[in-house]
Amino acid sequence: MDGLSGPLAQQLLNAALQKLLQFGRITNLDKVEVYFGDDACTPAGVYSVRNEISALTWIFSLIPASSCKPQTLEAALREALEVRIGEVVGAEEKEARVDDSYRCEKESRLVEWGQRNGVKTKLQIAHIEGYGRGAIATEDLKFGDVALEIPISSIISEEYVYNSDMQPILEKIDGMTSETMMLLWTMREKHNLESKFKPYFDSLQESFCTGLSFGVDAIMVLDGTLLLDEIMQSKEVLRERYDELIPLLSNHKNVFPPEMYTWEHYLWACELYYSNSMQIKFPDGNLKTCLIPVAGFLNHSVSLFSF
């Protein structure tokens, strides 16, 4: 549609954007938003800031800049999307401060390792007051800029298990999943001084703040809630799975050293994957759960800006 101008054209643009937003919001719902459904939705149809930005950027990605000629509906839509994203982010903007007293030496070594291994980044790791560790931009980023690019060779995926001495043993265990294989590989690789991913494992914390490691105080606060029931059930399931695995691995102590496969180490690995893993679509079309060095510090605050 050429020659897009006038009140009628603006109405058409607004209607098209609103219809696309409805699809985009539904397409980008996360598990929490799906669970709460309409209860999580505002009268304007917005589920959350995260969902709104995901929906807008999803729509934006469907309209290639190369296909947008001036004064067309496509070009006007891209412009309207950029404005809308700026409005959503601006409404939620908060000022954050970098804690300069926290020396991110291990994290800096991780970024340097990544750059030597093909990672392209415009980010650095910092400690944000009130939020903890996260990634901040080293330069002003424009909408559509690529802030972080990581090659497949620097991603921890199940391929590393398949190429290890664990694979012939694990593939014979009934019910063995790729996720469990990854857990077991990670538990040993963390202690491998010659590991390609040593800078990544060195940068990880010794404990995580997931429900699986809640202390007594947190449990007392949650007493009587469904959340506590879910946490306790999850922990019981993990313990049962661990107790099933260990006897099967004990016959291969040269591959699975007992000191590396304690319940505490198993729980740590579970929490690592719960809090840091991402699902990546590989070139072969398969969706795989992976650990992605450097990207794990993207602490997904859509309303946090550092100065």
Rounded to whole angstroms, what are the CA distances from 83 to 87, 88, 89, 242?
6, 9, 10, 51
Question: What confidence tens digit (pLDDT) does each residue in 163-222 have?
Answer: 999 999 999 999 899 999 999 999 999 999 999 999 999 999 888 777 777 776 777 777
- Return the structure tokens found at 140: 């002003």
How far is Cα 75 from Cα 65, in angstroms, rounded to an integer? 8
Classified as helix, coil or strand, 98 is strand
Length of the chain: 307
Q: Which tens digits make up the pLDDT trace of 45-83?
A: 788 888 888 889 888 888 877 666 766 777 888 888 888
**Alpha carbons 229 and 233: distance in angstroms, whole number:** 6
DSSP-derived 3-state class of residue 288 = strand
For residue 88, the model assigns a pLDDT of: 81
pLDDT reported for residue 223: 79
Q: For the full predicted model, state whether its pTM sits above 0.85.
A: no
Residue 131 has pLDDT above 90, yes or no: no
Measure the CA–CA gap between 114 and 108, rounded to whole angstroms. 10
In the 8-state DSSP scheme, what is residue 104?
-
